[in-house]
Structures are given as C-alpha cells and as structure tokens.
Structure 1
Amino acid sequence: MEHASTEHLLVENFEPENSALRIAVVTETWPPEVNGVALTLSKLIVQLSQRQHTIQLIRPRQDKHDTASQQTAWSEILLRGLPIPHYPQLKLGFPSKKQLIKAWTIKRPDLVHIATEGPLGWSALRAAKVLRLPVTSDFRTNFHSYSRHYGVGWLSKPIVSYLRKFHNRTLCTMVPTMALQAQLAASGFENLSVVARGVDTQVFHPGQRSVAQRAAWQVQDDTVVLLSVGRLAAEKNLDLIVNTYQSLKQSGRKVKMIFAGDGPYRAKLQIDCPEAVFMGMCSHAQLAVAYASSDLFLFPSLTETFGNVTLEALASGTPVLAFDCAAATELIRHEHNGWLVPGEDPQRYVLKALDITRSSATLLQARQHTAASVAPWDWHQIADQVETIFRSVVTAHNPA
C-alpha cells in the first residue's frame, strides 16, 4: 500500500509537453542530504525541468515525514531505503523492480536516467529492460577507491566488476572528466561521454568575501585563511590538511585553519587540530561566504570522481592547492589560478603550500584569475550537454 499514492501522482502529473521529454530519474540521494551527488543532480534536474521536460524522480524515502512532491510536470515516487554503513544519513533504496514496472507501464517515460548504482538503480535498470526503455547513467562516486579507506580494499576488484556490468547495460554513461573517461575505458567500460559538473556563479562569486566573517574567525588582514570543505571522512585525505597546516605554523606562517562540513572524522580532527574552526554543516549561502573569505583552498583528496568544491572555490575567487587528478586537472592552470601537485606524494603537497605562502603577493595574484577561469562551467551549458545526450539516446533507441 505504500506506493499507492505515488503511483496515483504519477498518473496525474507525468505528462509530456510539446516535444519535451518525459525523463524518469533514479537516485538514492537527494537534498536536503548534503553530498556532491545530491547537490549537483538536483541542480541539473532543475535546469531540465525549466526547459519544460517532465521529470519523475524515484528515490528512497529519507524519513517517516518525507512526502512525495506534487508539482506541474514534476512528480516523485518514494520507496523504502536502508542506511548506508559509515554514511547513516544516506539511504540505499530497496530492490523495487515490480513497483517500477507497474509505474512505467501506467505512464511510460521516454528515458530512464540512473544516477546511483545501488539496489534501487539496479532495479530500475532491470525494469527498464523489461519495458524496453532507453537507459542512461552517471558515474559519480569512486566506491572502488573508497573501499581501501574502510579496511575492505580487497573489495575493489569486485566493485569495479559490478560497476562495469551495471554501466555497460546502459546506452550512455556520463563521467565528469576526460581522465576518468580514459581510466574507465581502460577497465572495459563502454559508451562513455564526458559531462562536467556545473557551478552556480550567482551564489559562488568573489563578492561574497566578508570582513565580518573573517572577524568571526578571529583573523587579521595578514592572516592566511586555509579552508577545507566537504565530508569529514577518512577517504578525503584530511590528515594531510592537518600536516600542511602544522608545517605552515611551525615555519612561522600566520595561518588559520577552517573546516566546513561534518562527518565521522571530525572528532579525530578536533584532537589533532584543536585551534581550527569547525563550522559543521553549512548552507550554500554560508559556504559561499566561507569560500570567498578564505585565502587558499586545500583539497588533497585522491578519491573524487570530480570534486565540486574545487569548482566552487575557484568561482568564489579562492585559489586551490590540489593533487593533479579529477576536476583539478581540468580546472586548475598551475601557478595561474591555483597549484597542482603531481603524483600522490604528501611531502610535495606540504612543500608546495610552504612555497605558496612565502609571499602574500603569490596568493593575491592567483586570486585575480580564479573566477574568470571557471565562468564557462555554468549550469546552463552543462544542461545543454545533457539534454543533447538524452535526445540522441531517445532518437537512436526509437528512430521512428
């Protein structure tokens, strides 16, 4: 009985408009959950709905108070979910093949797009195959890389095998960078298209820099504010941020460390870096001010498929120090709007931070180029790419 109301909602609202597409989007994470998948997917879906496409969102119910949205040309099917180990605020959707077949038989979408590869995503793939619906997918999370940070590195090969089997059953898998496309292609993944993430430059921009925020952090004009944004978890390589900060302090640099975000690693970080500011979970508005009010964004993660925080920092006018991987490779021009550290050597990362902060002019010069360097990464242009892919897949699947 749980799905009766959502199926009724589907029948009433899931109607095409003119030549627009009916798109069923399957995801196991969605705002107000705070993570890169939920936030970037929601931005994209908003853009597509504004182009008059009819959106049907299928996702796990986040809590007992969660109710399906009812809007013109927008509907939701909420299904049961199970908390993910180490990520209790996120859910894995239960297998729901029968429910999806029933829903999509009542009102047939033109395309099914699967954003996450969990049990719900797999159910959607199987249901779409039964109904002969075209399917596209996203590769958004390096689960195979995360496994080694939780003592189950031996699972990496089976995870890659599962992901390859999953994505190769779709007509197109969207990946955020050319480097990831090459890596996945070498592992046997097929039908890959590069679609970058976007940034909302109306929210993230240098004008958000705030004297009041810096005062709240108790820093002076000549203090170099170091910022880290994201989930506080083992796979984010946060110990290197602490080591970098401590090395800068020991060398006599006047620095302040800010962590925006929360997670299971917070308690350890507070012990290792007690003088840092821990902002906890932040809204987009709070993050925009934090980015712009900082002087150097530290991003040492090696497990990202993209790393939207890199894009947000640059749009906010803050240069980035990152390893030469994921989005950083394509967004950062070394010694222009930030700095790239080759390989995975933590000592080289620390040495580069020491070099950057030797003179305040180095950071100020890089700051002049940050926002302009990511101006083309606007969500409107990203939505153009995705819309083109969707139409191409639908046409190829059913030329008539």
Structure 2
Amino acid sequence: MRYAIVTETYPPEVNGVALTVQGLEHGLRARGHAVDVARPRQRAERVGASHELLTPGLPIPRYPGLRFGLPVTGRLIRHWRTARPDAVYVATEGPLGWSALRAARQLGIPAATGFHTRFDEYMRDYGVGFLEGPALAWMRRFHNTGNATLVPTRELAGFLRDRRFENVVQLSRAVDTTQFHPGRRDQDIRTRWGATPDSLVVVYVGRIAPEKNLDLAVHAFRAVQAQRPDARFVWVGSGPAQARLQAANPDFIFAGVQRGDALARHFASGDLFLFPSHSETFGNVTLEAMASGVATVAFDYGAAREHLHHGVHGAAVARGDDAQFIREAVRIATEGATRDAMAVAARRAVEGLRPEQVASDFDDILQGLRTGGRNASTAMA
C-alpha cells in the first residue's frame, strides 16, 4: 500500500503532534508500506528526503521554530497524480491541511484527519475567549471534510460526536517503554541540577507556553518546596513563556529542549512529574513519565483519564480543581514510600502499550477507508 501523510509540524520540531506523526509514519513503514510525507520546509532546509514533498511555510506567531504551510492544492494534485496514495492522513488543520483535503477530494482519494490540538480552548488561554465557539465550528468543518477523524481517547470521541463531528474513530496511543525506562535515571544529571540522591526533583516536560497552565505548576512547586526545601524544579522544553518564568523564578532549572535518549534520562532522573495543562487532546508526556517510573500529578482527562489511576500511579485531579492539584503534589512529594510505590506501579501500568499495535490499528483504519469503511468501522469507539 502507498499512504500519504500531510503535516505542518514534524521533527526536528519537538512537540506532541510532530512526534506522534513521525511515530505513525515509522509504524506504517515497519509494516512494509510506502509512505510519502508532505510538510513545510523548515528553516535552513533546502531539500527533503526522497519520500518528502517540502512546501512553502511561514513562522507561527509567538511560537519560534514552528511553521505553518501555505496553500498548495494544485501542487499536491500534480504530485499525487504521479504517485497516487491509497489513502491520505492529514494531521493538522492549517492551510496545508486544507489543501490536502481539497486535493484528495478532487482525486477521489479517501482521507482521514487527526484531531491533535484543542485550538478552541487555546482561545481562552490567549485572551480571546469569545473566539472559542467559532474556532470549534471551524475545526468541525475541517474534520467533517474528511472521511474519518482520528482521536486518541474515548472521552474526546464522545465530546466531538456530541458537537456534530462525523465519523469519529478512536486510535489509541502508546509509548516506547524501551526508550522511556526507570533504568535511564542519571545521577550525573541530577548533580548538575544540584540534587543529591535523596533530594526531590520535580519535573515539567513540554512547551513552555500560556496554554499549558504553567502558573499552577509554579504554585504547586512552591507549596512542595515549603515542605521539602531541598526540592528542585526542572523544566524541559522551550516556548514563549520561558523568559517570564525564568525572570520570576531564578531558582528554577531550565534544561532546554531534549530529544531521544537525553529526554528519557531527564524524565527518569525526576521524582515527581507535574502536568498542569487542561487543553490537551491526549498528553503523550503523561505516558512517558509513567514509563520512566515517575509519579505523576495531572488533571483527569486525556492520557490521565485513560491510564493514570488516582492514588495508584500518582494523582488524577478533577479538571479545574487547582487547589486539589496542589494538595496532591504536596502529598506525593512528602510521602516517600507512597511516591516510590506509585513509580513502580506507573511503570507496570504502561508496559503493555505497544507502538506496533497502534501502527497496526492505524493501518487497518486507512485500509478500511480505501475499501469503503469495512475495517475502519471496527475501530469506532
């Protein structure tokens, strides 16, 4: 089979969408399929790989290093006439994504879309809450143009169906438990952070941006620090809110963007992972923390709703209950035996999540679209 993936973010960009899309691409290749990728040309990039179609793009305001693709419907039509895919997966809702849906429709190629980002909730985080409804309507129009909308959780599938999104299909997520592993714990890294083997290291991993609700992480850590003065707070990632946070909190450690094994070592070298975001469609970092053997505090939706059992692997807090989030962070931080037991249980909980199974399910969905939905229907949540 030949598949095409269209995305406006892709490694070396580091974010959940880019890494998820790359994982899906690699999974299809491992199953013996040919996969073409259409994406914006990244900064200083002249040519892509032989299977890549690079398109024009522009920087995303307030997100240095990320770009969105410009419309290229005609170019995609010409390209796919030459190398026609059996099905197309459109991962992002930008101008390039719209072009892909138009091209696929004109050529009669089935297309699935991926619902990766709650742009409607971002409107509140950036001070334009009045656009939340129009943003959701725009997203509904985009996704309903395709033949199926892929989502990572049952909760999100139900939410979208209730809001008139059509043909919603659940495609679960997994985590590489070989890469993310408690054995990656690195005392040399902890020493650079000023932490002894007995110190408490609190970690945040992700974009350092307003939509991540980061002020709550700061408040939670300060409450932890009042009980554990030896605690260190390590931030892994980058983003537009970093300068403000760094200036206001000179004792915080900003480790920058980490990838691959380095990211795995940073995760496993922490003792408590705080994930205060309330605008994720899933939150891959929750699974990565659990696989790394790190007790986690997150809100009870997305990956936490699917996999993080409250009181067993950490704390899954009712969304919006900031006071409880802080209390749970303090409790787990100050109860060493409880925290250690949660770390072991968290690792065990995700050991059965296999990326190979996700690739197989993704393959079945795309083949089902090509054959008129027979296989895709079996994946409906």
Q: State the Cα RMSD in Å.
A: 1.5
- Structure 1 gap ranges (5+): 1-20
Give the structure 1 partner of residue 16 of structure 2.
36
Q: Is 2:229 the partner of 1:229?
A: no
**Residues 112 and 147 in structure 2, CA contact (< 8 A), matched pair in contact too:** yes
**Residues 181 and 194 in structure 1, CA contact (< 8 A), matched pair in contact too:** yes
Q: Give matches, 1:1-400, under 5 Å.
A: 21-70=1-50, 75-396=51-372
Alignment partners' CA distance in 1, 2:293 and 2:8: 32
**Residues 134 and 397 in structure 1, CA contact (< 8 A), matched pair in contact too:** no
Q: Given residue 63 of structure 1, which amino acid in structure 2 is its aligned partner?
A: R
Displacement of 1:253 in angstroms is 4.8
Q: Given residue 243 of structure 1, which amino acid in structure 2 is its aligned partner?
A: H
Displacement of 1:252 in angstroms is 4.6
In the alignment of these two chains, the number of paired residues is 375
Displacement of 1:394 in angstroms is 0.8
Residues 243-279 of structure 1 show CA distances to partners (whole Å, capped at 9, x for unaligned) of: 1111122235531111011111111111232111110
Give the structure 2 partner of residue 7 of structure 1.
none
**Residues 305 and 326 in structure 1, CA contact (< 8 A), matched pair in contact too:** yes
Alignment partners' CA distance in 2, 1:334 and 1:39: 27
**Residues 242 and 272 in structure 1, CA contact (< 8 A), matched pair in contact too:** no
Alignment partners' CA distance in 2, 1:91 and 1:354: 38
- Structure 2 counterpart SS, 1:137: strand
**Residues 59 and 79 in structure 1, CA contact (< 8 A), matched pair in contact too:** yes
**Residues 84 and 90 in structure 1, CA contact (< 8 A), matched pair in contact too:** yes
Displacement of 1:221 in angstroms is 2.7
Residues 324-380 of structure 1 show CA distances to partners (whole Å, capped at 9, x for unaligned) of: 111111110111111111131211111111222232111011111111101122211
Identical residues among aligned pairs (%)? 42
- Structure 2 counterpart SS, 1:95: coil
Give the structure 1 partner of residue 378 of structure 2.
none
**Residues 117 and 281 in structure 2, CA contact (< 8 A), matched pair in contact too:** yes
**Residues 23 and 54 in structure 1, CA contact (< 8 A), matched pair in contact too:** yes
Displacement of 1:109 in angstroms is 1.2
- Structure 2 gap ranges (5+): 376-381
Displacement of 1:309 in angstroms is 0.6
Alignment partners' CA distance in 1, 2:222 and 2:80: 56
Q: Given residue 90 of structure 2, which amino acid in structure 1 is its aligned partner?
A: I
Alignment partners' CA distance in 2, 1:282 and 1:160: 32
> What is the TM-score with the length of structure 1 in the denominator?
0.91
Displacement of 1:233 in angstroms is 0.4
Alignment partners' CA distance in 1, 2:240 and 2:149: 31
> What is the TM-score with the length of structure 2 in the denominator?
0.95
**Residues 187 and 197 in structure 2, CA contact (< 8 A), matched pair in contact too:** no
Give the structure 2 partner of residue 18 of structure 1.
none
- Structure 1 counterpart SS, 2:145: coil
**Residues 9 and 66 in structure 2, CA contact (< 8 A), matched pair in contact too:** yes
- Structure 1 counterpart SS, 2:112: strand
Alignment partners' CA distance in 2, 1:61 and 1:227: 32
**Residues 278 and 319 in structure 2, CA contact (< 8 A), matched pair in contact too:** no
- Structure 1 counterpart SS, 2:371: helix
**Residues 253 and 357 in structure 1, CA contact (< 8 A), matched pair in contact too:** no
Alignment partners' CA distance in 2, 1:398 and 1:135: 15
Residues 42-81 of structure 1 show CA distances to partners (whole Å, capped at 9, x for unaligned) of: 01101111211111111111124331212xxxx1111101
- Please list every run of at least 4 consecutive aligned residues from structure 1 whose deviation after the TM superposition is greater than 3 angstroms: 251-254
Q: Given residue 147 of structure 1, which amino acid in structure 2 is its aligned partner?
A: M
- Structure 2 counterpart SS, 1:52: coil
- Structure 1 counterpart SS, 2:274: strand
- Identify the range of structure 1 (107-116 vs 194-203) with the bigger mean alpha-carbon deviation: 194-203
Give the structure 1 partner of residue 379 of structure 2.
none
**Residues 295 and 342 in structure 2, CA contact (< 8 A), matched pair in contact too:** yes
**Residues 138 and 173 in structure 1, CA contact (< 8 A), matched pair in contact too:** yes
